[in-house]
Amino acid sequence: MIMKPTRRQFIHRASVLGVGMSLGLSGCKSTPTRQSLPQIMTVTGPVPANQIGITLPHEHLLVDFIGARAIQPGRYDPAEVFRTALPHLQAVRGLGCQTFFDCTPAFLGRDAILLQDLSRASGLRIVTNTGLYGAAQDKYLPALALEESPDALAERWTHEALYGIEGTGIRPGFIKIGVDSGRLSPVHERLVRAAARTRRRTGLAIASHTGNGQAAMHQLEVLQSEAMAANGFIWVHAQSEPDTRLHLEAARRGAWIEFDGIHPDTIAQHVALVRNMREHGLLHRVLVSHDAGWYHVGEPGGGVFRNYETLFTQFIPALQNIGFKNTEFQRLLADNPRDAFGFLPSQPGPLPPGAF
């Protein structure tokens, strides 16, 4: 059961998230035309990037771990998932969150219609993705990903970005890929190259599930060879790499360093990671999120659904205790996601709507 906060809890959270109130104001100051503003593509359409407010850049609603070769429609009841997830989205909306990135990729449970329904019901802006997930030794890659060239994959992903996902008209707001630890396999290198080429055509950011620092550095090498600036790349799960020097190196090259997985048991670790980036003048390259939710298809009732509240109720107060200021929370929770994911609408060469 999701409990409503008491008045005392509400006042405490409002003080913790005072930055959230100011974000709503700061997003209204811009005067350029809509066409010249960076955008975020949500499941209900584009919004100016400077209006996304407090953002969770890496979460999940639904996941299906059966594998690409076995996944198929009808494995879950969307109405049940909706009923399970909606109270959690409403709860985090009540804590000040305004935008929510769902990082479940194709062949792992991506459901654009469900996300759109939940966005409308909860009042949260929700963003979905294009791309393919190669981590877990390619279990979640369809056969086409093992055969097609980077250009062919990039055409598929660009088609989704322009025309929508699987005939829904719902367009993705970023590219999600996944690679294992160590040097990239040939298949994973193709995914990274395809993501870079999609980025060049669409402006969408690349969020890459990354096994470790070595894999992150190899991806940056590949992106450089594709003439793509590192500021379009998000190193997802960077907290899993114990050598924090690699965080600093990647950030200095322009990449985004995402410390997701925030959980009550990891508060001290995440505080230390963010503080380290701040001490080296790199707070402006950091993203933070829970990597929570996870309605598990195949488990009764979807299993244990992790809420999206710890960042607001425990992590932010912990940062306050070591001297973080509201301007730094605005940087972490609103400005950085805006800068990481915002893109200028581009006009790539046309792809026929029925191509895929």
Say which residue the tokens 């730094």 belong to: 328
Give pLDDT, residue 37. Answer: 86
* Bigger pLDDT: 6 vs 202: 202
The answer to whether 332 touches 118, Cβ cutoff 8 Å, is: no
pLDDT value for 151 = 98
Q: 153 near 134, Cβ under 8 Å?
A: no
Question: What CATH superfamily is the domain 58-341?
Answer: Metal-dependent hydrolases (3.20.20.140)
Instruction: Report residue 46 CA to chain centroid gap.
Output: 16
Burial of residue 1, with CB atoms counted within 10 A of its CB: 0-12 exposed, 13-18 middle, 19 or more buried: exposed
Given pLDDT bands bounded at 50, 70 and 90, which one contains residue 353?
Answer: very low
129 vs 169: CA distance, rounded Å: 13
Q: Quickly state the pLDDT bin for 267 (edges 50, 70, 90).
A: very high
What pLDDT, on a 0 to 100 scale, did the predictor assign at position 225? 98
In the chain, what percentage of residues exceed pLDDT 70? 87
DSSP codes of every residue in 299-334: SGGGSPPB-S-HIIIIIHHHHHHTT--HHHHHIIII
pLDDT of 342 above 50: yes
Q: Which of 282, 305, 309, 284 is nearest to 295 (CA)?
A: 305
Instruction: Evaluate if residue 58 carries a pLDDT over 60.
Output: yes
Domain residue spans in the chain?
58-341
Amino acid 28: pLDDT: 33
Residue 153: its pLDDT value, please?
98
Confidence of residue 239 (pLDDT cuts 50, 70, 90): very high
In this prediction, residue 57 has a pLDDT band, given cuts at 50, 70 and 90, of very high
Q: Region 248-260: what's the mean pLDDT?
A: 98
Convert the pLDDT of each residue in 284-339 to its tens digit.
999 999 999 999 999 999 999 999 999 999 999 999 999 999 999 999 999 999 99
**CA-only gyration radius of the chain, Å:** 19
